[in-house]
Chain A
Amino acid sequence: MAKESGVLLQVDKMKTVFQTQSGYIEAVNGISFHIKKGETVAIVGESGSGKSVSAMSILRLLEKSGKVSSGRILFKDINLNELSDEEIRKVRGKEIAMIFQDPMSCLDPVYTIGDQIIEAIKIHEDLPKKEYYSRAVELLQLVGLPDAKARMSIYPHQLSGGQRQRVMIAIALACRPNLIIADEPTTALDVTVQAQIMELLKKLQTELGTAIILVTHDLGVVAEMADRVVVVYAGQVVEESNVIDLFNKPEHPYTEALLQSVPRIETNKNERLMAIKGSVPSLYDMPTGCRFHPRCPYASEICRQEEPPLMNLGENHYSKCWIKEKDIKKVMQNVNHNEQEDIEIIDSPHFGKHQNKKILEVHGLKKYFPITKGFFSRTVGYVRAVDGLSFDIHEGETLGLVGESGCGKSTSGRLITSLLKPTGGSVTFNGQDISRINRHALKKVRQRIQFVFQDPYSTLNPRMTVGDIIGEPLEVHRLVKGTEKYARIVELLETVGLTRNDIQKFPHQFSGGQRQRIGIARALATEPDLLICDEAVSALDVSVQAQILNLLRDLQQKLGLSYLFISHDLNVVKYISHRVCVMYLGEIVEIADSEVLFQNPLHPYSQALISAVPIPDPEGKSERIILEGEVPSPSNPPSGCKFHTRCLIATDTCQTQQPDLKEVSPGHKVACHNY
Chain B
Amino acid sequence: MLAKREFTVANTYHYNWSSPMRWIISHLLQYRFLFLGFALLCIVNNIFAASTSLFIGRAFDAVLQKNTALQQLGMITLAMLIVITMQGCCDLGARLTAEMLSKRFARDAREELYTNLLGKSQTFHNRQRVGDIMARASNDMTQLSDMMSPGIDTIMDSFSSLFMSVLFIGLLNPQLLLVPILYVIVFLVALRFYARQLGPVAVNLREEFGQTNAVLTESVNGIEVVKATAQEPQEIHKFVTRASRYRDFYVQNGKIHGRYLPTLLLGIALALAFLHGLYLYSHHEISLGMLVTFMSLMTYLRYVTYMSTWSFSLLRLGVAGAERIISLLKEETELDANMGGHKEEMRGDVVFEHVTFSYGSTPILKDISFHARPGQTIAIVGQTGAGKSTLTKLVNRIYDVDTGRVLIDGVDVRDWDMDALRSQISTIEQDVFLFSRTIAENISYGLGSKADQSAIEVAARDAQADEFIQSFPQGYETEIGERGVTLSGGQRQRLAIARALLTDPRILVLDDSTSAIDSATEDEIQKAIHRILEGRTTLLITPRISQIRWADSILVLRKGELIDQGSHEELLARCETYRRIFSHYDAALPASVGGVEHD
**Are A and B interaction partners?**
no
Please list the residues of chain B having a beta carbon within 8 angstroms of any beta carbon in chain A. Answer: none
